[in-house]
Structure 1
Amino acid sequence: MKFFLISDNIDTQIGMRLSGIDGVVLHTKAEILPIIEEIRKKKDVGILLVTQKISELIPEELDNLRRSRTLPIVTVIPDRHGSTRSKDFITRYVQEAIGVKLK
């Protein structure tokens, strides 16, 4: 299985390309959606990496892709500027998902 990257900046795309991961640099929802459909049809792509800025442009589409429980698996990665998520993101996510407060 291969990885594929959809990035909003060339620096992330170049870094991933140096590690053997193919990808594209896109900036609008209209550009992104056809690429996602193309990737879904490819049987050799197992993980779709998406930068945070891209994920903010298409949250509903990524949620639908995750809920479909089919390949590719979607993973949101920080870009060159780092993560915009809060430090307690995982704790809050678990709390919201299962209703258990973690300390």
Structure 2
Amino acid sequence: MGKILLMGDKYTASLFRMVGTEAQVVEDPFNLQKEIDNAKKRGDVDLILITRDLYEPVKEKLETVISNQTKPLITVIPSPFSESKPMDVRRMILRALGFG
């Protein structure tokens, strides 16, 4: 079974580490593409969670990368500093199964 990797700010990373999830602090959103590429090379990561505040500044650059990625599955989650929006869990599950 693969790992979950969070990429985000130090506060969100600390929260995820407390529950046993691997977390990586990414300070500069413009380094996010490089960090995603490094995580994809590892092979043991099945899910990458990216905090919304990290994703928003580089959204246009990463949108196609994230939408076309099947393994690891990449999804954007809210952080304590971002405005939260409802998540479409059904869409996420279908996409994880290869139907979306």
Q: Normalising to structure 2: TM-score of the pair?
A: 0.71
| Cα separation, 2, equivalents of 1:61 and 1:43 | 23
Partner of 1:10: 10
Partner of 2:94: none
| Aligned residues: CA RMSD | 2.4
Within 5 Å, give how 1:50-65 maps onto structure 2: 50-65=50-65
Partner of 1:98: none
Partner of 1:39: 39
The one-character-per-residue Cα deviations of 1:38-58 (angstroms, maximum 9, x if unpaired) are 011121111110111011022
Partner of 2:83: 84
- Letter of the 1:43 partner, please give it: G
Does 1:74 pair with 2:74?
Answer: yes
Conservation of the 8 A alpha-carbon contact between 2:29 and 2:58: yes
| Cα separation, 2, equivalents of 1:27 and 1:45 | 21
Aligned length: 88
Conservation of the 8 A alpha-carbon contact between 1:5 and 1:21: yes
Partner of 1:30: 30
| Cα separation, 2, equivalents of 1:18 and 1:35 | 22
Which of structure 1's runs of 4+ aligned residues deviate more than 6 A? none
Which has the larger displacement, 65-74 or 37-46?
65-74
Gaps of 5+ in 2: 92-100
Secondary structure of the corresponding residue to residue 58 of structure 1: helix
| Cα separation, 2, equivalents of 1:30 and 1:66 | 15
Q: Normalising to structure 1: TM-score of the pair?
A: 0.69
| Cα separation, 2, equivalents of 1:6 and 1:57 | 14
